[in-house]
Amino acid sequence: MSLASVSRMEAKLLLPTYERQPILFVRGRGVYLWDSRGQRYLDFLSGIGVNALGHNHPAIQAAIKRQAGRLIHVSNLFFHEYQAELARLLTEISGLDRAFFCNSGTEAWEGALKLARAFAQMKNRNGSKSKTRILAMDNSFHGRTFGALATTGQPKYRAPFVPLVPGVSFVKFNDLDDLRRKFDASVCAVCIETIQGEGGIRPVNREFLKLAARLTKQSGALLVLDEIQCGLGRTGRHFAYQHYGVRPDVVAVAKPLACGLPLGAILTTERVAECMHSGMHGTTFGGGPLACVVAIEFLREEKKLLKHVRALGKYFHAALAALDKKHKSIQDVRGAGLMQAVEVDSPELAKAVTKQLLQEGIIINRTHETVLRFLPPYVIQKKHVDQLVKALDVALRKNEEPTRKYGKEEKKTAPPRRKEVHAHA
């Protein structure tokens, strides 16, 4: 089927929720994708952080073939061989004790919020009342279901669907005083993306995360981290919180876990897990044998790639920082490992650059209006970084004149730049 006929049919038959680029992808290998016309693209987005091993990884392909021929689904009414093994691997690398498997990021986040409420009801009451208040962060993104939306600190996602789940208050991200002001005995959880992804690749400050850990520990509330985008090797460690020396009570992961098959997980401590009993939470599809087999394979590969992600992340960040010196339009360069961003001075420039790179066969993404986001597969090499940075340099130069807001002098007085906390940790 051609791009024209697919897009005509979709326009007629699908809910109009996506503004797709006019490209029909038909296959992928490694860091490259090919469209229906045979054009090759360098993938610096990995399906928004999902294809961490690149496309068509031989070990993943083999695992899918093997398991698809044996057993795909049994439901959670029965045992299969792989959930326990996957839970063992995830608890080992996270320092947590127990896992629950689901199908997506938003579903993992919903489960994490439910754990916080259930734990407070059972084990951490506020006098005769149970603690129900959740503190979430401004500028955060946790998904599209009601609980996730209720904790997402961006009005544009929430507004069309109010009223949402009650009991959520928002804290200014990385504002210690605001967190101290809003935290009290009614709080059951503090919810943080260790690195805000959709919000523009903004890492949590060390002091802020430590304060959240201290306050929650003192009052018996839970520190709940969203590592759906930044976890599982993306920053060069298994989890982004491992850069900070903090152990959360609950962490949600998803995106790269099963390399494109739908799989998410909630990881938590023994103490928190005690608040759940049979029938309190569940899912039909979550943690099926096919997805679990692939995730086990993914974790084997991820472990081998951590050092490479750290080295390439450092190289990539340094190259972007060098671009920053050359371009007046660049307002900030930030990130960790292979989760990097360049913030430019206007949405128009970010849009024009993203479009031009795509025309040249390089896939990146614009998020939060002015932020160019890079989430390449962990298997990229220096030559791919060089290609991207060179093309970015040209695209910025070509597009920044007509869209630029700040001149050379003005850049100095532009809004304060938020540098990354641990750019190459």
Ligand X SMILES: Cc1ncc(COP(=O)(O)O)c(C=O)c1O
Residues that bind ligand X (CB under 6 A): 48, 104-106, 109, 141-143, 193, 197-198, 226, 228-229, 254
What b/e sequence results for 406-415 when a residue is b if at least 16 CB atoms lie within 10 Å of its CB, and e otherwise? beeeebeeee
The 3-state secondary structure of 224-236, one letter per residue: EEECCCCCCCCCC
Sign of the C-alpha dihedral computed for residues 61, 65, 67 and 72 taken in this order: positive
* Residue number with CB closer to ligand X (43 or 226): 226
* Residue number with CB closer to ligand X (284 or 359): 284
CA nearest neighbour of 291 among 47, 56, 63: 63
Helix axes 83-94, 289-326, angle to 10 degrees: 30
CA nearest neighbour of 46 among 54, 35, 58: 54
* Residue number with CB closer to ligand X (28 or 231): 231
CB count in 10 Å sphere of residue 14: 10
* Cβ–Cβ under 8 Å, residues 54 and 33: no
**CB 222 → ligand X: shortest distance, Å?**
17
* Residue number with CB closer to ligand X (50 or 391): 50
Residue 70 corresponds to which tokens in the numbers above?
A: 């044996």
Helix axes 382-403, 289-326, angle to 10 degrees: 60
Q: How far is CA 87 from CA 52, 81, 187, 419, in A?
A: 20, 11, 29, 35
The 3-state secondary structure of 343-392, one letter per residue: EECCHHHHHHHHHHHHHCCEECEEECCCEEEECCCCCCCHHHHHHHHHHH
**CB 104 → ligand X: shortest distance, Å?**
4
* Residue number with CB closer to ligand X (30 or 147): 147
* Residue number with CB closer to ligand X (251 or 391): 251
* Residue number with CB closer to ligand X (46 or 106): 106
* Residue number with CB closer to ligand X (47 or 289): 47
d(C-alpha 284, C-alpha 329), whole Å: 49
Which residue minimizes CB distance to ligand X? Answer: 105
What b/e sequence results for 23-42 when a residue is b if at least 16 CB atoms lie within 10 Å of its CB, and e otherwise? ebbeebebbbbebeeeeebb
* Residue number with CB closer to ligand X (105 or 287): 105
**CB 168 → ligand X: shortest distance, Å?**
15
Query: Who contacts 305 (Cβ-Cβ below 8 Å, separation ≥6)?
Result: 53, 233, 378, 379
314: left (phi over 0), alpha (psi -120 to 50) or beta: alpha
* Residue number with CB closer to ligand X (109 or 126): 109
**CB 226 → ligand X: shortest distance, Å?**
5
CB count in 10 Å sphere of residue 294: 25
**CB 102 → ligand X: shortest distance, Å?**
10
Beta-strand pair 202-203/195-196:
antiparallel
* Residue number with CB closer to ligand X (30 or 231): 231
**CB 230 → ligand X: shortest distance, Å?**
7
Runs of H (alpha helix) within 163-227: 176-182, 206-219
- Beta strand residue intervals within 209-313, DSSP E: 222-226, 250-253, 264-268
